[in-house]
Structure 1
Amino acid sequence: MLSLAELRARCTSLPAAVYVLAWIFFSSVTILFNKYILSNRGFPAILTCWHLFFATIATQILARTTTLLDGRREVKMTGRVYFRAIVPIGVLYSASLVCSNQVYLYLSVAFIQMLKASSPFAVLIVSYSFGVSNPKLKVVLNILVIVFGVALASFGEIKFSWIGFFYQGGGIFFEAIRLVMIQILLSGEGQNMDPLVSLYYYAPICTAMNLLVAMVMEFGTFQISDIYEVGLWTLLLNAAVAFLLNVSSVFLIGKTSGLVMTLCGVLKNILLVVASILIWATVITPIQFFGYSIALCGLVYYGAGYDGIMTYYNTTKEFAQKILSGSSAQDPEEGEGLTGGRPKGFLESPTTHLVVMIAMYATIFLLLITGIMIKTGTAPEYLQQVFGTVDD
């Protein structure tokens, strides 16, 4: 059986765009899927508990049948490490997930994405409070620009909810504390884990914690009929998509730079805002648009810095000029194509691969949005006429 390293090596023939777009796709679909289910039936704690229970079973199966979780053997897991690090971090992870799903009951997907842009601010505050980092003035000013943009977006929100705002703020700060705790309790001792191995250890304790939360908050009004209202296959698919997001994260590691990931994260957020407008007719005010634009620019600068942005810009510009001039794109090291080796033809070029993958994922994404719009009755009349009305 192939090791994880060998499996990743065999996948290197695929363009990095495949992994990036897969991550964007599963991340976006998970968010839209959760919003769709929670808007119709509610019970966010129970849904989160179901996701984590599914992840617990799936990681146990993968650990025994594949090499995807072989990285766990490099983790020196003892009873002391488990109760001193895994349990508290798992509790924080559970709290973050519960808050992040609760917010779907109060705020639109678009506004949630805008609020998430303030995550670097939470990480900065928490890391400074725990003495992990001592940020420079330049970083602080950068984050203040992001906060200013998010504040403007919040001020322009029409359907603002303080409950939803505090839930989202809680989710962001719980996640920030979790990341800092990982840095203090695990990374400092050399216990580095990829997303799937982390889920292998965290999912069981998170399932137990979410079950307790669900028992207190939702079991009193929950009925078995609610499961059948949503559909067993729908819930199974929802949990599978959420789990595949973690799998896609594993294969994405090392495939691209931090700058590209920052830009892809911004692209994903913009796609989700557009999807929210199309599916749920979310209204975006001019001041929201302006504020979120400021926050996104601040995020890109925070993740890449001026030098990184200019390097990416110049590289892209040079590559585009070579494509337009009809010459093959040259790799600076190999001298024979962007990916090395012999000059690439049109169908073999990484640009063509990227365009094809973007077109494929965009088509699937639009079909998904169209299906949800028709199902929820928010589709334009011409779509209803073409596809017919779908009864709930």
Structure 2
Amino acid sequence: MQTPRSATFPRPLWASGTKMPELHPAFYIAAWIFFSNVTILFNKWLLDTAGFPIILTTIHLAMATLLTQLLSRFSTLLDSRHNIRLTGRVYLRTILPIGVLYMLSLVCSNLAYLYLSVPFIQMLKAFAPVSTLFLSFGLGLANPRVSVLGNVLVIAAGVLLSSLGEVRFSWLGFAFQMGGTVAESLRLLLIQGLLSKDGDGEAGGAVKGIGMDPLVGLYYYAPVCAVLNGFVALVTEVPTFDWSDLERVGWGLLALSGLVAFMLNVASVFLIGRTSALAMNLTGIFKSILLVVVSMMIWNTPVTMLQTLGYAIALLGMMYYSMGPEAARSHLEACKAWLRENTNGGRVRNLFTSPYETVPSSDPRLSDVERGETEPKEEVVGAAERENAAASK
């Protein structure tokens, strides 16, 4: 007797080995902005409730290690790791430095939150493209140009004004944040080199890549980061750690925060793999603006006018740098064309009534009736009624 065959279902695209279609870079940017802001706000709430930043980071990295291991066993997303010849020498020169830099970045950033406010930290993060660019010069990934240097100096000046306007400034917190920013910039450059091929694009020069898939990169360096953060936690937080803190937060929320942090890591490596480390830093300025506004609404954090001015200067400098001079000039010409279309000498089109009537630019809201330039509404209506009556006769 023949045994009936069990029902079979088609494997999903992510597990079938079929190459998934590449998405537009805007998708990776939006996903990174979403998961990054949610992770920061979630972690801020957890730290205010329990207060164990390094242990929390270790839990997140351990969960990322577990999830990537599960993906490697129950899907084909990480099968490309078998095509990589990862020797001990390559591991020590690529994976280990990324793990060390990531550990330094996370530890310094978490310590900065103990001394500085969330909006001010986001303003200081605007310095990230400056550090990334100078590190690119040092590693031979980019050639210094006077125009580029002038642009990054504008960004640095904006960050300086934001620092001068901070009400609760702390040199120790500032040093932690700057150290974390430099470590993060160098880590991003190394990851970009890791994800690209030798001599390919910006990853050439001093950073030699091995063509590693973004998720495979996370698979290799997440365990290193988890172990290194675990050692730091053993020295700094474990001696004074109370398990009741975890119970107060709840294991479910901890697992959810770990999942969100894992999605942030995935979004980060995919964003770098599809764009560049500098593009990620430039995109971060828009993410930071959103985070500053939300944190001000949630925690009522004061932001001075000097900080706002400095942040605006840094934002404009980063927008100009990200668009480039040609795109910036084209946008400026578009603005001039719009102004020419909506102006006529010293008279501006009245946007509040008819698009064809104009009033002096000194008072664009003033109507023509109030100026006596047209007939009152009642007279116009009466004239129309008389014309209709004459036509009916």
TM norm structure 1: 0.71
State the distance in 2 between where 1:49 and 1:217 align: 13
Q: How does 1:164-313 map to 2 (within 5 A)?
A: 164-182=173-191, 187=196, 188=198, 189-249=208-268, 264-309=283-328
Using a 3 Å threshold, how does the CA distance of structure 1 residues 110 and 6 change in structure 2: closer, same or farther? Answer: farther
Aligned partners of 1:87 and 1:205 also within 8 Å:
yes
Report the equivalent of 1:117: 126
Mean CA deviation greater in 251-260 or 182-191: 251-260
Seen in structure 2, the aligned counterparts of structure 1 residues 27 and 317 have a Cα distance that, compared at 3 Å, is farther
Structure 2 counterparts to residues 70-89 of structure 1, below 5 A:
70-89=79-98
SS of 1:87's partner is helix
Q: Which has the larger displacement, 210-219 or 159-168? A: 159-168
Match of 1:367 in 2: none
Counterpart-to-counterpart distance in 2, 1:74 and 1:152: 49
Instruction: Please tell me the residue identity of whatever aligns with 1:276.
Output: S
Which is worse superposed, 61-70 or 140-149?
Answer: 61-70
**1:8 is the counterpart of 2:20:** yes
Amino acid at match of 1:87: L
Deviates more, 1:226-235 or 1:300-309: 300-309
SS of 1:144 mapped into structure 2? helix
Higher helix proportion:
1
Name the residue aligned to 1:23. Answer: 32
One-letter identity of the residue aligned with 2:303: I
Distance 1:85 1:36 in 2: 34
Query: Residues 89 and 181 of structure 1 are in contact (CA less than 8 Å); yes or no, is this contact kept in structure 2?
Result: yes
1:262–1:300: 8 Å Cα contact kept in structure 2? no
* Aligned counterpart, 1:39: 48
Separation in structure 2 between the aligned mates of residue 215 and residue 140 of structure 1, nearest angstrom: 42
What is the CA-CA distance between 1:89 and the residue it aligns to?
2.1
For residue 65 of structure 1, what is the aligned residue in structure 2? 74
Give the residue type in structure 1 aligned to 2:154: V
Aligned match for 2:116, one of 94, 107, 112: 107
Q: What whole-Å deviation, never above 9, does each CA across 1:226-272 have from its counterpart, x for those lacking one?
A: 11122111111111101112333466678789999777533321110
| 3-state SS of paired residue (2:240) | coil
Amino acid at match of 1:167: F
**Structure 2 unaligned residues grouped into runs of 5+:** 1-10, 199-207, 338-393
Shift of 1:7: 5.4
Aligned AA for 1:60? Q
Given the alignment, which residue of 170, 189, 200 partners 1:161? 170
Q: Does 1:98 align with 2:84?
A: no
- Residues 1:238 and 1:310: Cα distance change in structure 2 (over 3 Å): farther
The alignment yields a C-alpha RMSD, in angstroms, of 3.2
Paired residues, number = 315
CA contact (8 A) 2:125 2:181 kept: yes
Question: What amino acid does structure 2 have at the position aligned with 1:172?
Answer: T
For the structure 1 residues 111 and 130, does the alpha-carbon distance in structure 2 shift closer, same or farther, using more than 3 Å as the test? same
- Distance (whole Å) between structure 2 residues aligned to residue 131 and residue 178 of structure 1: 16
User: Amino acid of the residue matched to residue 8 of structure 1?
Assistant: M
Where do 5+ consecutive residues of structure 1 fail to align?
Answer: 319-392
Residues in 2 aligned to 1:264 and 1:95: alpha-carbon distance in whole angstroms? 22
Shift of 1:63: 1.4
Distance in 1 separating the partners of 2:51 and 2:126: 25
Q: Which amino acid aligns with 2:314?
A: A
Question: 1:140 Cα shift?
Answer: 1.0
Deviation for aligned residue 1:94: 1.2
279-288 vs 253-262, which deviates more?
253-262
Letter in 2 for 1:280: W
| Partner secondary structure for residue 239 of structure 2 | coil
| SS in structure 1 of the partner of residue 238 of structure 2 | coil
- Give the counterpart letter for 1:27 in structure 2: S
Q: Could you tell me how far 1:119 is from its partner in structure 2?
A: 0.8
- Partner secondary structure for residue 166 of structure 1: helix
Q: Distance in 2 between matches of 1:311 and 1:244?
A: 37
What amino acid is aligned across from residue 122 of structure 1 in structure 2? Answer: S
Change beyond 3 A, Cα 1:278–1:263: same
Q: Give the Cα separation in 1 of the matches to 2:276 and 2:61.
A: 29
TM-score normalised by the chain length of structure 2: 0.71
Distance 1:140 1:255, change over 3 A: closer
**Amino acid across the alignment from 1:175:** E
